[in-house]
Amino acid sequence: MKIVILIVTYNAMPWIDCCMRSISDKYDVVIVDNNSQDETVKHLEDCYPKATVLLQKNNLGFGMGNNVGLRYIRPLDYQGVFLLNQDAYLNSNTIVECVKAYEVNEEVAIVSPVQFQNDNRTLDTRFVYHVTEAGIETSQLFNEPFKEVLFINAAAWLLPMSTLEVIGGFDPLFQHYGEDDNYCHRVLYHHKKIILATQSHFIHDRNNNIPSEPKIYSSIWWKLKERRFKVMYANPLKFEKPILDYYGTVLKKLSMGKINNVLQVLKLRSKQRDWFKACQLSKQITQTKGPHYL
């Protein structure tokens, strides 16, 4: 199975050497740079001249950056593409074991290795959260060569090229975060599988603290609210309309004399209407098979 590695970079200097040095010379590498403002592009050109670097004029984010790379790769002679974060480092057998897991499982759309922290011994905290959420105890994680899961974040994904023809690329509805949730939902909607290859490991060199909930109505709160809403209502597996406790919340805030909070509730209601319309349009596309967004 001929594999190409796809990396999206943005200000990647703290990680890029560890990332690139972890990749075997037998793999071609395509890098989409999202208009880095540090020395990433020059460093790649000087130190890794064999890599193909696709320069972008703006920061497209993770999903749209990967779509640029997938469009470039799709017509070429590869059987699979391995999406790799700029802060992720492969072991010598990471991709080989992912390919093995793919070859013995029918209808597989995504294969992911197990994520470790940068000590290469401790499981990544958020990886553990998603695995246990799927009903897999970490003590039982390695008792089989692969596990079927409902979600795994896209720090390291093997995508057979057939996946791109059925599922497509990442939905531009999601600018930053949420795009991998949505992609997994679409995979499951089309009756494909997401496989965790338990003999395949890699390091995800990131902050392993679980972030606290942001202050209500802060800029981060609005972004998180939008992402969670879109992840839920752009999910092609779900068909319900959002239940918005609108009038009850407004009356409650008015009775408490919180006029500013009422304005925020009205703002949220307006945004949710727009978000829901966008989610409905998204589902009209993603509920069909095809190389969408590529």
Whose structure tokens read 């497509």? 168
Cβ contact 167:109 at 8 Å: yes
Whose structure tokens read 């942001």? 214
The pTM score is: 0.92
- Phi, psi (rounded to 5 degrees) for 185: -60, -45
Q: CA 284, 288, 289, 290 torsion: positive or negative?
A: negative
Residues facing residue 160 across a β-bridge: 80
Q: Choose among 118, 129, 107: nearest CA to 201.
A: 118
Cα separation, 179 vs 45, in Å, equals 29
Q: How many residues does the chain have?
A: 294
Cα separation, 70 vs 81, in Å, equals 8
Burial class (CB in 10 A: 0-12, 13-18, 19+), 221: middle
Q: How many CA atoms lie within 13 A of 142 on its CB side?
A: 8
Cα separation, 155 vs 94, in Å, equals 13
pLDDT at 167: 98
Listing DSSP states for 122-148 in one string gives SBPHHHHHHHHHTT--GGGTTSSSEEE
The pair of three-digit structure tokens given for residue 207, joined into one six-digit string: 């902050």
The pair of three-digit structure tokens given for residue 41, joined into one six-digit string: 């592009």
List the domains of the chain with CATH numbers: 3-204 (3.90.550.10), 219-286 (no CATH)
- Helix boundaries (H) for the chain: 16-21, 40-47, 61-73, 94-103, 125-133, 161-166, 179-189, 219-233, 246-255, 259-286
Task: For residue 113, give the amino acid letter.
Answer: P
CB atoms within 10 A of CB 264: 17
Cβ contact 249:261 at 8 Å: no
Whose structure tokens read 């799709």? 74
pLDDT tens digits for the chain (294 residues)? 999 999 999 999 999 999 999 999 999 999 999 999 999 999 999 999 999 999 999 999 999 999 999 999 999 999 999 999 999 999 999 999 999 999 998 799 999 999 999 999 999 999 998 898 888 888 889 999 999 999 999 999 999 999 999 999 999 999 889 999 999 999 999 999 999 999 999 999 998 777 788 898 899 999 999 999 999 999 999 877 665 554 455 445 545 555 566 777 788 888 988 999 999 999 999 999 999 999
